Amino acid sequence: MAAARRWALALARASVPVALGLLLWVAMAGGEQDRQQTLKALPEASPEILDQRRRHNELIMAALREAAETDENVARRAVPWRK
């Protein structure tokens, strides 16, 4: 009888951290959904802003491509080097 009582007590003690972890996980998962909804509603997600970012990324990739294809140190160029 004493062995069963010790086993039950050990099981109860082990279940506390598991239950706490589960509660924290559920709390964080709910916050993640709210964060996703907030990000979708931001004005930065407008098509105009996304087009501007896409164009900016294209310019950066063109500059990186040019730097990779040449032996010249493009970092030493004069400041207005944009195309």
Quote the pLDDT of residue 26: 83
Residue type, 37: Q
pLDDT digits (tens, 9 = 90+) for 5-54: 999 999 989 999 999 999 988 887 777 778 888 877 777 777 888 889 89
What pTM does this model have?
Answer: 0.40
Residue ranges covered by each domain of the chain: 1-41, 43-82
Quote the pLDDT of residue 80: 63
Please give the DSSP secondary-structure letter assigned to residue 42: S
- Distance CA(14)–CA(45), nearest Å, equals 46
Quote the pLDDT of residue 82: 57
